[in-house]
Structure 1
Amino acid sequence: MVFDRALVRRRRDRAAARVGRVAPVLEDCADRLLDRLDDTTRRFSRALEIGGRGVVAPRLRARGVPFVVSMDLSAAMLRAGGEGMAVAGDEEFLPFAPGAFDLIVASVSLHWVNDLPGALVQIRRALAPDGLFLASLPALGTLQPLRDALGQAEATLRGGISPRVSPFPELRDGAGLLQRAGFALPVADLENVSLAYRTALGLFGDLRAAGEANAVLAADRRTPPRALLPMAAAGLERGPAGIDPVLRLMVLTGWSPHESQQQPARPGSATHRLADALGTVERKTGEKAGH
């Protein structure tokens, strides 16, 4: 267990009243993710969006999806999201029947899940055959200057550091996670979203407004020193990256398996040699040129 899920829910409950403050960022992330729908001619009729904070469901409906269900760990966040069918639920225990949806979208919402491979398996089961899964979540490198500034400030004040920024997965793990969960045609790529702030305190405020405050179980739960945030803010503003962080979004795309999908060729079934296509000479392992 890495995250305190009850704390994640309370943080999102408190953020519900002010999540509109970060709507432009959430909307940008949602638009980038949903643009992937333009890459397929498939039309979807039953969609589930997970953790969209009020910005994903309207965009799905605007794209012609007639039935959209919104799910969030926080009931308060769902109420703040406005109209539409809503279900308060846990990503780690999806309350839906197998094959209930033909499209599932999770925009910047799966990075607080303790068992991400298990959650992906449940998402795949909730998809009908040939259903599409789209997700984005912060990747390694996101908020790294903030992580460094907080660590340096805490080391100065307390002589040690505590994890104050969530750990993020590496891009190279993305497609493997999808494949492990049973998705077909898995793809993982990266989108960089640049943000700009006048002060570090503005960044801190937006993280709280999005419900993204620290919920790592190993974090020091003592009241932090009063000087911690001002010292970290000063360090962040002096750093080479300044206070304009880059949100590195790992974008995952996978399909629920179906017999109509493109299948990999059987080993040994090729009818043309790679060496001929490349215009080179094929050699056995260990054989040197000229022999």
Structure 2
Amino acid sequence: MPTPRTLPFEAEIEQILSSRKYRHLGIPAETVRDLLEKERASGASPKEALKNAKHKLHNLMAPYLGDPDYPAAEAALQAAFAQPDPQAVRQVCWDLMSAHASTRERLPHLDGLYPQLWAVTGQPRVISDLACALHPLGLPWMGLPADAHYHAYDIHQPRVALLNQFLRLSGRPPLAELRDILLQPPDELADVTFFLKEAHRFEQRERGCNRRMWTALNTRWLVVSLPASSLTGRHDLAEQQRKLVYSTIGELPWTVQELQIGPEIFFCIHTQP
């Protein structure tokens, strides 16, 4: 009988994904395989490739940004939706978003954020949210139609499960999905695609990958945001972030409108004139 063929890097992938740090996160194996393959292709030794892949995965998962207690979060959402006061849902979403640095920084500006974005893009009926983290919990502030579809993608399974519970309780289709968007960009036609505070981390994963991923998307508007300053607020990053976005777009016939809302620069990129 032929021996079953072993895929490349199976042992290394198992070592990483079964570690205490990652074993409960459901990270796609293909993400880790891609990191290892790229490192080996660059000439790294097996030992260096493993070390570098671990470092890049740490940057991708960004545990330093924080996370809620997911079982407690699911219970809190269930209890909030059982109450007649819609403010209860908003409060739980606010509390959960405050557990993650990316969404926490956005909270003081939440009431005015989406009206400013929709003034540029128009109010969307289909949203795609890439590497979404907890951003979909901002739905109560978005003012979307009841029949709007919200697709969300992340490589953190407990987060995806929480978002699908939230979408179901909100009366919307549970369209959050565990997916590595770089390896498998979404193909649904979206009115607006969010890619918030992630483009710089993707460049660290693979230089130049943003252009490949952005051009694969089927979206009318791509809303990319990047931090205008470092997490400590000590370093101004605005020009560095503009360089990243405009060099990624290059000669493509896309138009860009910039908005700075709080500590975040939003690049509203019209990809389908």
Q: TM-score, normalised by structure 2?
A: 0.51
**Residues 50 and 32 from structure 1, CA distance in 2 versus in 1: closer, same or farther, beyond 3 angstroms?**
farther
Q: Matches of residues 81-96 of structure 1 in structure 2 within 5 Å?
A: 81=163, 82-83=166-167, 84-96=174-186
Q: For the residues of structure 2 that align with 1:32 and 1:116, how far apart are their CA atoms?
A: 34
Contact 1:45 / 1:67 at 8 angstroms: preserved in 2? Answer: yes
Q: Which amino acid aligns with 2:124?
A: F
Aligned to 2:27: none
Aligned to 1:6: 57
Aligned to 1:185: 255
State the Cα deviation string for residues 208-248 of structure 1 (Å, max 9, x = none): xxxxxxxxxxxxxxxxxxxxxxxxxxxxxxxxxxxxxxxx3
Q: Matches of residues 48-197 of structure 1 in structure 2 within 5 Å?
A: 48-56=128-136, 58-59=139-140, 62-64=143-145, 66-81=148-163, 82-83=166-167, 84-97=174-187, 100-113=189-202, 114=204, 115=206, 117-128=208-219, 131-145=220-234, 170-177=240-247, 179-180=249-250, 182=252, 184-192=254-262
Structure 1 stretches lacking a partner, 5+ long: 148-166, 193-247, 259-291
Q: What's the offset of the Cα at 1:71?
A: 0.8
Structure 2 stretches lacking a partner, 5+ long: 1-38, 40-51, 71-94, 168-173
Q: Which amino acid aligns with 2:150?
A: V
Contact 2:113 / 2:261 at 8 angstroms: preserved in 1? Answer: no
Which structure's relative contact order is higher, taking Cα pairs within 8 Å and 6+ residues apart?
1
Q: Which amino acid aligns with 2:176?
A: A
Q: What's the offset of the Cα at 1:68?
A: 0.9
Q: What's the offset of the Cα at 1:177?
A: 3.4
**Residues 80 and 14 from structure 1, CA distance in 2 versus in 1: closer, same or farther, beyond 3 angstroms?**
farther
Aligned residues: 180
Higher Cα Rg, which structure: 1
SS of 1:170's equivalent in the other structure is: helix
Contact 1:16 / 1:77 at 8 angstroms: preserved in 2? Answer: no
- Structure having the higher helix fraction is 2
Cα RMSD after superposing both structures: 3.8
Q: For the residues of structure 2 that align with 1:127 and 1:62, how far apart are their CA atoms?
A: 23
**Residues 73 and 50 from structure 1, CA distance in 2 versus in 1: closer, same or farther, beyond 3 angstroms?**
same
Say yes or no: does 1:17 pair with 2:97.
no
Q: For the residues of structure 2 that align with 1:253 and 1:111, how far apart are their CA atoms?
A: 16
Say yes or no: does 1:252 pair with 2:267.
yes
Q: What's the offset of the Cα at 1:179?
A: 2.6
Q: What's the offset of the Cα at 1:67?
A: 1.0
Q: What's the offset of the Cα at 1:184?
A: 1.2
Q: What's the offset of the Cα at 1:37?
A: 3.1
Q: What's the offset of the Cα at 1:34?
A: 2.6
Q: For the residues of structure 2 that align with 1:138 and 1:41, how far apart are their CA atoms?
A: 21
Q: For the residues of structure 1 that align with 2:105 and 2:230, how far apart are their CA atoms?
A: 18
| Percent identical | 8
SS of 1:79's equivalent in the other structure is: helix
Given candidates 102, 122, 125, the residue that maps to 1:45 is 125
Q: TM-score, normalised by structure 1?
A: 0.49
State the Cα deviation string for residues 104-125 of structure 1 (Å, max 9, x = none): 0123343421247422442343
State the Cα deviation string for residues 151-173 of structure 1 (Å, max 9, x = none): xxxxxxxxxxxxxxxx9872441
Q: Which amino acid aligns with 2:195?
A: A
Q: Which amino acid aligns with 2:178?
A: A
Q: For the residues of structure 2 that align with 1:15 and 1:41, how far apart are their CA atoms?
A: 30
Contact 1:50 / 1:70 at 8 angstroms: preserved in 2? Answer: yes
SS of 2:201's equivalent in the other structure is: coil
